[in-house]
Amino acid sequence: MNTIDNICALATGTTGAISIIRLSGENVLEIGNKMWQGKELLSFQNRRKMLLGNLNGDQVLAVYFANPHSYTGEDVVEFHCHGGLRAAKAALESALANGCRMAEPGEFTFRAFVNGKLDLVQAEAVCDLIESSNDLSMKIAEKQLAGALSQKFSKLRQDLTFILSECESRLDFSEENLDWDETLAEKVEDIVMEIEKLCESFNTGSILRNGIKAVIAGKPNAGKSSLLNLLLGYERAIVTDIAGTTRDTLEESVSLRNIPTRLVDTAGLRDSTDKIEAMGIDRSRQSIKEAEIIFWLLDSSSENLQSEIAELLENKTKYHKIIVVWNKIDLLDNPDHIQEIEGLINVRISAEKNWNIEKLLDAYENMVWDNGEHEEPEIAINSRHLELLQDTLSGLPEAIYLFRENSYELAAVQIQAAIKNLGLITGETADVDVLGEIFGRFCIGK
Ligand SMILES: Nc1nc2c(ncn2[C@@H]2O[C@H](COP(=O)(O)OP(=O)(O)OP(=O)(O)O)[C@@H](O)[C@H]2O)c(=O)[nH]1
Ligand SMILES: [Mg+2]
């Protein structure tokens, strides 16, 4: 991707009411004015003003953002055409005919990065924002786009740079054999702790990006499909009072308490001579193995409750993340008499009456975030950040040791390496392949 050409792309989808064509580059003001006829010309005086005009017979709105006050930091012109492919295609063809080339994926954001409008971490947040599937991932992406995460990396880098300068000044006086205090080693220890804390947020990021596979398991008729339908908010699975209704696993995506969840309904577990049902049950067992969290349903009103519990206990030792869901409590005279299964989280619900579903979601949320008192995550690093943070961490214990030994020269080498790694995260010192990989994930037009 060079930054010399004038580029153009469709910035919106093709099915909306409006299509936005975006142009960026040194000559787009001139190109834009060749493309359309309006009562007024696009000009510096008319910057950031919507002008009405005509482009290939289509009535359009045009706006000009003068550099550096635009998304890319370059001159940008946008045409807001009528929706549909035809108008967008005609406008793009006109832009190409007048001197633009088609933008590559992420090229607008790449130029914003090159022009210092955002750093690499913020550019990644643009992508996260577009891909976010629920309120929480969107909120985190917005915060990171606003610089919340970049500031943390910059602060670490600043602190390390300060330590390096302190270290170098001590080098100059090393001959005098001064009796230095512990400060530098302690400062590096604090930084190590902060980096470790940041690394922990990777788990949040990976949950938000990849979601959780949650499997609803149990004996036939326990109410698994009823729970699936309730959590989805619509009648996805067939529910009947015939044991063995669900024959195959059924997976749907849903956001539960802002956790992207792949919710799987399964065939009820039992010994079956029916060939098709037995195959379905094999799939249930496979899903249970792959599950990150299992909602294990028990029919609290069942006469065979003991065999339901036995099936669960058989799995208990193998799978840690089980929530025991005592369903159909509406059929019990006194649900308090339920003997909870020790060592596991137990929740009593009625899928039919929609009782205690919030309690079930509380249990799920706590289990996902691995804590009793769930705090909403604020930031979430990705795998690229994690790898570089781990590289940053690798030399710091050595630096701490060297400071304690007064070996400032060798300690400085470790600190310099750490500073370089942090710079790679925000893009101060990014290499071309990494940039290509990051911006290649974007859609065209962004
Ligand atoms: N009273 C009561 N009935 C329920 C409840 N949940 C489910 N049922 C009923 O139990 C029967 C079985 O429900 P399903 O959701 O089909 O059970 P399942 O576990 O998916 O069953 P299989 O697909 O056969 O494994 C249906 O008649 C439901 O209406 C509940 O909380 N209370
Ligand atoms: Mg079912």
Does residue 290 sit in the same domain as residue 142? no
Does an H or E element contain 264, and which? strand 259-265
Average pLDDT score, the chain: 91
Strand partners, 214: 263, 293
* Phi and psi at residue 48, to the nearest 5°: 55, 25
Please give the DSSP secondary-structure letter assigned to residue 405.
T
Coil vs helix vs strand at 10 = strand
pLDDT (tens digit, 9 = 90+) per residue, 18-62? 999 999 999 999 999 999 999 899 999 999 999 999 998 889 999
Quick: pLDDT tens for 97-151: 999 999 999 999 999 999 999 999 999 999 889 888 888 889 999 999 999 999 9
pLDDT of residue 173: 65
Question: Are 232 and 352 found together in one domain?
Answer: yes
The 3-state DSSP class for residue 137 equals helix
Position 186 confidence tier, pLDDT thresholds 50, 70, 90: very high
Residues contacting 56, CB < 8 A, separation 6+: 87, 90, 91, 94
Q: With 80 as the cut, is the pLDDT of residue 181 above it?
A: no
* Band (171; pLDDT cuts 50, 70, 90): confident
- Could you tell me the CATH number of the domain that includes residue 175? 1.20.120.430
Beta pairing, strands 259-265 & 293-299: unpaired
Judge if the beta carbon of residue 300 lies within 6 A of ligand 1. Answer: no
Please enumerate in sequence order all residues whose Cβ is within 8 A of that of 229, keeping only pairs 6 or more positions apart, or say none: 235, 236, 237, 239
Residue 219: CATH number of its domain: 3.40.50.300
DSSP conformation letters of 335-378: GGG--PPTTSEEEE-BTTTTBSHHHHHHHHHHHHTT-SS-----
Whole-number Å distance between alpha carbons of 386 and 404 = 28
Q: Which atom of ligand 1 is nearest to the CA of 220?
A: 25
Q: State the pLDDT at residue 174.
A: 57
With a 6 Å cutoff on the Cβ, whether 33 touches ligand 1 is no
User: Residue 240 CA: which ligand is closest?
Assistant: 1
Is residue 215 within 8 A of residue 205, CB to CB? The reply is: no
The CA 364 to ligand 1 mean position distance, Å, reads 21
Query: Are 278 and 269 within 8 A, CB to CB?
Result: no
Whether the Cβ atoms of residue 78 and residue 41 lie closer than 8 Å to each other: no
Is the CB of 329 inside a 6 Å radius of any atom of ligand 1? no
Other C-beta atoms lying within 10 Å of the C-beta of residue 302: 17
Residues 201 and 222 in one domain: no
- Of the two residues 181 and 137, the one the predictor is more confident about is 137
Flag whether 395 is in a domain.
Answer: yes
> Of 119, 137, 156, which marks where a domain is finished?
119
Q: Relative to the alpha carbon of 244, which ligand is closest?
A: 1
Q: What pLDDT does residue 375 have?
A: 67
pLDDT tens-place string over residues 260-302? 999 999 999 999 999 999 999 999 999 999 999 999 999 999 9
Mark whether 294 and 411 lie in a shared domain: no
Tell me what pLDDT residue 253 has.
Answer: 93
Whole domain around residue 353: which residue ranges?
211-368
In this structure, is residue 99 part of a structural domain?
yes
**Is the CB of 241 inside a 6 Å radius of any atom of ligand 1?**
yes
Beta strands in 361-428 (DSSP E): none
342 Cβ neighbours under 8 A, 6+ residues apart: none
Give the distance (Å) from ligand 2 centre to CA of residue 297. Answer: 11
Q: Is residue 443 part of a domain?
A: no
Strand ordering across the sheet containing 293-299? 250-256, 259-265, 212-218, 293-299, 322-327, 345-348
Q: Does any domain span residue 49?
A: yes
What is the residue type of 20? I
Mean pLDDT confidence for 58-72: 96
Q: Are strands 345-348 and 322-327 parallel, antiparallel or unpaired?
A: parallel
Residue 327 alpha carbon, nearest atom of ligand 1: 31
Among 119, 153, 187, the domain-final residue is 119
What's the CA gap between 335 and 356, in Å, rounded?
12
- Please, which residues have CB less than 5 A from ligand 2, an ion? 224-225, 245-246
Q: Establish if 311 belongs to a structural domain.
A: yes
**Strand, coil or helix: 251:** strand
Verify that 182 and 201 share a domain, yes or no: yes
CATH number at residue 64: 3.30.1360.120
pLDDT for position 178: 56
Same domain (yes/no): 82, 21: yes
pLDDT at 175: 53
Number of domains in the chain: 3
Q: Are residues 357 and 232 in the same domain?
A: yes
pLDDT exceeds 80 at position 317: no
Indicate whether 445 belongs to any domain.
no
Predicted pLDDT of residue 298:
97
CA–centroid distance, residue 344 to ligand 2 (Å): 24
pLDDT in the model for residue 290: 92
Same domain, 351 and 250: yes
Q: 18 has which bridge partners?
A: 82
Say how far apart CA 304 and CA 232 lie, in whole Å.
29
Helix axes 28-35, 85-97, angle to 10 degrees: 120
3-state class of 265 per DSSP? strand
Do 197 and 223 have their domain in common? Answer: no
Q: Is the CB of 204 under 6 A from ligand 1?
A: no
Residues 54 and 156 in one domain: no
CA distance 363 to 6: 53
Is the CB of residue 325 less than 8 Å from the CB of residue 338? no
Residue type, 312: L
For the cut 60, the answer to whether the pLDDT of residue 373 exceeds it is no
Residue at a domain's end among 343, 368, 393: 368
Residues 216 and 348 in one domain: yes
Pair 364, 387 in one domain: no
